[in-house]
Structure 1
Amino acid sequence: MSHIDIYSHYHLELQRALMQCNSLLKVQAKSLMDKISTSHLPTTTLNQLNVGEKAIVRGVADQVQQKQTHLLDISRRLKELGFVEGEELAILHKGYFGGEPIAVRIGQSTFALRHFEAALIGVTKLGQH
């Protein structure tokens, strides 16, 4: 196999994996928006914020798909880290390749979240009423 063939193979595998993550992300984001739609404030998910934006946490969704056991407690762990309703957060940075990881400051702590983790966190942008 030539280097080009190997590159093409890995490129296709990466595209497939990204498409699977993207579809899971959309399902989780919709589930979260359905869960917190009772709020009268405009909401979005953390992964949709831009660098420099600040927001208030509105809730953390439960896992939508529980196929892998190591994913079962992500929502609980996010809450333990401080992503609880009413907490203020700010997006500090997004990675260059696909915007991942997302650097988030909440309280005095900074965390790096993956897109699917950030998609579980419902927020209201500050300045929106």
Structure 2
Amino acid sequence: MHSKLTDGVALPSAHTPLHQLPKGAKATIVDIVSHAVFGDMDEQVTLRLKELGFLPGAMLQVIGFGLFGSDPVAVRINGTKFGLRRAEAEKVLATIHPM
């Protein structure tokens, strides 16, 4: 599997960061990756996402985005709606389901 470099992070080509999924998309979480913007707090942010249910294998749906495509990224996972900051959404890699 080939990788591409996005914002300094190597990503598998079949996986898309959550913030890049289109509105209405359904996807399965593949991984949660590190993000330099969080610095020393990255592990805590990852843990918090996992505590909220953002776990590999979980299915989610993108509900929408903030004004002009900015924060928050609204998603539904396990029947609960969440609003994530774009930087948090960038940590979540998913495989989109065909529509």
Superposition deviation, residue 97 in structure 1 = 3.7
Calculate the aligned-residue CA RMSD, in Å: 2.3
Q: Secondary structure at the match of 1:57?
A: strand
Tell which deviates more after alignment, 109-118 or 96-105.
Answer: 96-105
Where does 1:19-58 land on structure 2 (aligned, <5 Å)?
A: 26-27=7-8, 30-31=9-10, 33=11, 37=12, 42-58=14-30
Q: Find the structure with the greater CA-based Rg.
A: 1
Q: 1:121 aligns with which of 80, 85, 92?
A: 92
Q: Is the 8 A contact 2:37 2:87 kept in 1?
A: no
Superposition deviation, residue 68 in structure 1 = 5.6
- List structure 1 segments (4+ residues) > 2 angstroms apart after TM superposition: 62-69
Equivalenced residues, count = 94
Larger helix share, 1 or 2: 1
Question: Distance between the aligned counterparts of 1:63 and 1:74, measured in 2?
Answer: 10
In structure 2, give the amino acid aligned to 1:46: L
Superposition deviation, residue 92 in structure 1 = 0.5
TM-score relative to the length of structure 1: 0.64
Runs of 5+ consecutive residues of structure 1 not aligned to the other structure: 1-24
Runs of 5+ consecutive residues of structure 2 not aligned to the other structure: 1-5
